[in-house]
């Protein structure tokens, strides 16, 4: 369950908020990159693992555990499936930054997550999500690196 708890911190992604793009005067590229992250987060919360996996390029790296990034699709799918069992709910109340340069985008967002383990224990976590996305040939965006522990070094420095 150590990896599951670490992974839940990885999903510093978004609950859809259509007004978010308007509030920050986002470009169409920024909005579409954010939508890719939001779609993945919503799918994860709904236990739609096929849609979660489709949000990533083949060979993408996800940092469920800061000491053991995973790029193997079968391992990633298993981790997402196992972690979805706690019925995670993510909140991005502090907003999102999306920076786009050409076909590369970076999404940054502080997040909080709550869930309940199968034995009834409540889980509450928070972190800073940093995700790198690449525009696909069809114009969609997919994640290539997903690190929900983007603030880990800052936390270590303050201890």
In this structure, how many other beta carbons lie within 10 angstroms of the beta carbon of residue 109? 25
Please state the pTM of the whole predicted model. 0.82
Span 67-72, average pLDDT: 94
Span 133-153, average pLDDT: 92
Angle at 62 between CA 71 and CA 3, to 5 degrees: 100
Span 4-19, average pLDDT: 39
β-strand 141-147 against 56-62: which pairing, if any? parallel
* Fold observed for domain 2-157: Nuclear Transport Factor 2; Chain: A, (3.10.450)
3-state secondary structure of 47: coil
Name the band, by pLDDT with cuts 50, 70 and 90, for residue 151.
Answer: confident
Domain boundaries, the chain: 2-157
pLDDT over 50 at 6, yes or no: no
Kindly report which listed range (15-24, 86-95, 97-106) carries the lowest average pLDDT score: 15-24
Q: How much is the pLDDT for 20?
A: 46
């Amino acid at each position: 369950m150590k990896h599951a708890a670490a992974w839940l911190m990885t999903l510093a992604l978004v609950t859809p908020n259509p007004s978010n793009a308007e509030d920050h005067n986002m470009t169409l590229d920024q909005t579409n990159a954010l939508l890719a992250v939001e779609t993945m987060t919503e799918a994860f919360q709904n236990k739609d693992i096929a849609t979660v996996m489709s949000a990533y390029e083949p060979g993408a790296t996800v940092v469920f555990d800061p000491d053991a990034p995973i790029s193997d699709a079968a391992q990633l799918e298993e981790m997402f499936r196992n972690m979805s069992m706690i019925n995670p709910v993510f909140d991005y109340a502090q907003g999102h930054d999306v920076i786009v340069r050409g076909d590369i985008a970076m999404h940054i967002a502080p997040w909080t997550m709550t869930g309940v383990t199968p034995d009834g224990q409540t889980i509450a976590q928070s972190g800073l999500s940093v995700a790198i996305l690449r525009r696909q040939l069809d114009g969609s965006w997919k994640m290539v690196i997903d690190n929900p522990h983007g603030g880990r070094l800052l936390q270590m420095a303050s201890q």
